[in-house]
Chains A and B, each alone.
Chain A
Amino acid sequence: MKSQKTQSAINTYLKETGGWVASQLEACTRCGICAEACHFYQALGNPEYAPIWKLEPLRRAYEQRFTVAGKLKLALGLEKKLADSDLEHWSKIVYEACTVCNKCAHVCPMGIQLGPLIHGVRAGMAAAGVVPADLAEATEKQKTVGSPLGVTDEMWRERIDWITDEWEAQIPVDKAGAESLVVFTSIELMKFPDNLAAVARILNRAGENWTVSSTGREVVNFGYFEADEELTRLFMYRVFKAAEELGVKRIIISECGHAYDAFRWAAPNMMKVPKGVEIAHISEYIHQLWKTGRIKLKEGAFDGETITFHDSCKIQRRGGIIKQPRELLRVLAPRSFKEMTPNKEQSLCCGGGGGVISIKEADANRYAVFEMKIEQLQEVQARAVCMVCSNCRLQFVDSVGHFNLPVKVHGLAELVSKALV
């Protein structure tokens, strides 16, 4: 049965289907190689987790509207129109068994950008309101309260004060004329306050003229997880508006992959962005501070137990910040830093990104994926793992606890701040 909600999903698909989407949908040969790139398929073996299968709603909408073959298939009864039940079925697949990590695109012989296209499928789901309840709830909280974790303005202020006291790290708030606006995630604020303190300490040591904003205070974008275009814009708008009001030169995205992807690559194509404001990820900025001699690090500060680096899909594979964290780690732990395999562009996703970790029903999926990560960690006998995304870190901390592993989980900023000289 096709209701109004399916129609809004179809409308979204047709609206987003320009040549970019269409040519890639046309290029698929149904070879199925992408399945083996998907950590959810590899871990769970469900054929429906094959990345190309996740595009079915978008493909059907496109073919049935725009192609002769699609119309023929429809007329001959080989294929049906999208129905409510299809949306509900695929909603679970695209939100609970995909982190939009885009490894599949690097494996596809045709080079189809499966990640962004799956984001497109999510957009239809969001338009139809067929989004997992937990994800929808967090998005709603971000819309109304300003944070997916429900952090109110007051709580935010208290928390910042507490971190300032506890870690003795000065955090300038709403400082007009600052050069850099640093925007954190609620995850860091509530669960990894040490990371926030670490960033503050590094920037203060470097003599950076920086600030946080009480209005543009949340960098995570649950609208982007859902792929709700309007909310994605709204959540970024809050930050851009704060940046304009404060007159900063750059926005530094803290340790959040999806946020970096949204601000760095998506924003200019979906909304008005403040002119001349640079978008930087905290890990590349810290690297730059070190490279230009504004901070100095104690060499070998973390030598001892084997430490490895986990590549975050949105910051490394899709963000290009691949060399920088490694250069820093080679200073921090020149003897103990070991690479997992595969790594860099080909790295294995943690399993918690893309909103997956916020969906309770997807817990089994992400733990199953994490078992593959455990294998990777064990291959290099890592006792510690470092990363530059709080979402990955949350997945690591939670899963390391779940599986009771003797592995310490670090944010890169945290390590750098401890090695400052």
Chain B
Amino acid sequence: MNWTNILNFSRGPLLHVAMIIFVAGLSYRLVRVLLLGWARDRAKNKGSKLWGVIVNYLKGLFVLPFIPWVRRTFRHNELTFIAGGLFHLSLFLVLVFGTAHILVWKSLWGFGWKGLPTPILAFFSAAGIISMIVLLINRLTHPVLKMLTRFPVWINWLVVFLPMITGFIMARHLWFRYEVIFSLHLISVSLLLIWVPFGRISHFLFYFFSKTIHGAQAGKRAVTP
């Protein structure tokens, strides 16, 4: 078996199966949670739930990632806030505005958009990778994180890290032949997609639940979320 075959396999059947597992698995998880039932809140509101939800999303998406020190606990968690924030920002920029990724979106949805200049992408992908390493070291040494981290959490880290590092190497044309690194990138992406429904990377989905709940809880009590 040569690398061309591996590449064909990984961007064909493997990726498709991975995507099916990803979508089906997440849908199952979503439906499972939704079907557990939602009790109506009968307590009379003091403030507006909607206001709370809106403020909470604005803060969560536009304030805290960019000016994290508005949050008073920032000074106890600089590392987690900055490395965690930078990691998510990098991931978003590279996935959405990376030139190669835009082609993938275009093939999926039929339209594309303008990518970011290569130096900026290079900077953020490097920053994302470094952030992940920093977060890993933090997780290995912080007493609370050591206690909280069980086996699946290490897998989470690995399956996110592999696509990032292979993607970085591929985009910079380093060391490997194109078919080799592209195959490795696609295999690692497939691994990620297959793993997501089983682990906590799926938080990107449940984020919208907890974030809405917190906003509504704060809003109904007339406090700032």
Contact = CB atoms under 8 A, between A and B. Distances in A.
Interface residues of A, number: 61
A342 B80 contact: no
Nearest to B64: A109
Interface string B198-225: 1110110111011101110110011111
Interface stretch (B10-18, B97-105, B145-153, B170-178): B145-153
A17 B225 CA distance: 24
Contacts of B36: 17-19, 21-22, 66
B37 A18 contact: yes
Interface in A1-36: 17-24, 26-33, 35-36
Contact of B200 (A30, A73, A269, A345): A30
Q: Is the interface of A mostly helix, strand, loop or mixed?
A: helix
A36 B46 CA distance: 29
B203 A318 contact: no
B33 interface: yes
**Interface-central residue, B29, B34, B81, B206, by most chain A CB under 10 Å:** B206
A48 B199 CA distance: 22
Contacts of A37: 73
A215 interface: no
A162 interface: no
A381 interface: no
B210 A269 contact: no
A78 B150 contact: yes
Contacts of B137: none
A296 B63 CA distance: 42
A341 B217 CA distance: 24
Interface in B145-190: 145-153
Interface in A88-134: 105-113
A27 B223 contact: no
Contacts of A316: 223
Given A111-B60, A112-B210, A268-B43, A30 B29 contact: no
A35 B146 CA distance: 13
Nearest to B222: A320
Given A109-B60, A345-B224, A19 B38 contact: yes
B32 interface: yes
B4 interface: no
Interface of A: 17-24, 26-33, 35-37, 41-42, 45, 47-48, 50, 52-53, 66-69, 72-73, 78-79, 105-113, 264-269, 316-320, 322, 341-342, 344-346
The 3 A-B residue pairs with the shortest CB-CB distance in the complex, in nearest-first order: A111-B214, A23-B209, A320-B222
Given A27-B209, A267-B43, 20 more contacts: A26-B202, A30-B149, A33-B80, A35-B144, A45-B143, A47-B144, A66-B32, A69-B199, A78-B150, A78-B151, A79-B150, A109-B64, A110-B207, A111-B213, A113-B217, A264-B43, A265-B43, A269-B43, A318-B223, A345-B223
Interface of B: 28-29, 32-39, 41-44, 46-47, 56, 60, 64, 71-73, 76-77, 80-81, 84, 142-153, 198-200, 202-203, 205-207, 209-211, 213-215, 217-218, 221-225
